[in-house]
Amino acid sequence: MCGAPADAVRHFVTTAKGYDLYECVCGLVYGKEYYDDDKIFSIYDEDYAKGYEKPELVKLIRSYADRFFGGKARGRLFEVGCGNGHLLRRLAELGFTVRGVEVGQALAAYCEGLDVKVMPFEEMRVPPPPGRFDYVVTFHVLEHIVDPVAAVKKIAKMLTPDGLWFNYQPNVRAWRPDVHGPGWIHFDPMNAAEHITFFDENTIRVLAEKAGLKVVDGGAESDDFWTWARKPVAPAQSDG
């Protein structure tokens, strides 16, 4: 992400399922050997989709919509990697005009009634200005994306001038070797190699800046963290 030379990268951990993760001098943690689009996309099968239909998980995902967007002005909202659509559906119930994209056909099959395209986000065209969004959401998604810099640059282009990017994901700094060991759920989640890049609050700030965005709010809890980012406000022009 930062363009550091190879000698600025160190081995971070070998996961319980045998995947080697590396840490760059900038703090980004990532896996090298599974940067394979076909392999990544094939992960999201019917068994994977069914895992997100557990009632307690559906309730939890929907609760994030109320928690983070309940007090926000309603507007046009786009979710990248909307999965089974639980977050997007609740946001629609709250009054947002929603759209989304999901690469997994088995996941998107649960999004009936929602405006969701089944395709890689990387292949989606940025809409012209009248179709831009007040909010773009990545909820437990960025860690699945092979090129997060390109993805967030596209997100920035999709936002209105006052639009907000909301990101929620695992915090790699929450991992403790003596507590979690190499089998930490975010290293080896539902399917091996599902998670590709691992961020913390500092590296997500660097990523946002590379995309022309500025983090304006955020926080951390348990194994996760969240951030709100927007385009920098242009300085006011003086009359003199």
CATH code for the domain of 74:
3.40.50.150
3-state secondary structure 203-233: HHHHHHHHCCCEEEEEEEECCEEEEEEECCC
DSSP per residue, 88-101: HHHHHHTT-EEEEE
pLDDT at 170: 96
Q: Looking at the predicted structure, is the pLDDT value of residue 103 above 70?
A: yes
Residue span of the structural domain in which 184 resides: 6-230
d(CA 197, CA 21): 9
Cα–Cα distance for residue pair 132/6, rounded to 1 Å: 38
Percent of the chain with pLDDT over 90: 74
229: closest CA among 141, 124, 159? 159
Q: Is 70 exposed, middle or buried (0-12, 13-18, 19+ CB in 10 A)?
A: exposed
The whole-number pLDDT of residue 191 equals 58
Q: Alpha-carbon distance 126 to 225, whole Å?
A: 27
Asked if residue 239 is part of any domain, the answer here is no
Mean pLDDT of 93-100: 98
- Assigned domain for 223 exists: yes
Whether 100 maps to a domain, the answer reads yes
Asked whether residue 240 carries a pLDDT value surpassing 60, the answer given is no
Percent of the chain past pLDDT 70, that is, above it, reads 91
Count: domains in the chain: 1
Contact at 8 Å (CB) between 25 and 2?
yes
Asked, for residue 236, whether it belongs to a domain, the answer is no
Residue 68 confidence class, pLDDT cut points 50, 70, 90:
very high
CA distance 4 to 26: 8
Residue 237 domain-assigned? no
pLDDT digits (tens, 9 = 90+) for 151-164: 999 999 999 999 99
**pLDDT exceeds cutoff 60 at 238:** no
pLDDT surpasses 80 at 180: yes
In a domain, 238, yes or no: no
For residue 240, being part of any structural domain is answered with no
Residue-wise pLDDT for 6-63, tens only, equals 788 999 999 888 888 999 999 999 987 655 556 666 788 899 999 999 999 999 999 9
56 part of a folded domain: yes
User: Which pLDDT score is estimated for 36?
Assistant: 59
Q: What is the pLDDT of residues 181-224, one digit of tens each?
A: 998 989 876 555 678 899 999 999 999 999 999 999 999 999 99
pLDDT at 116 over 80: yes
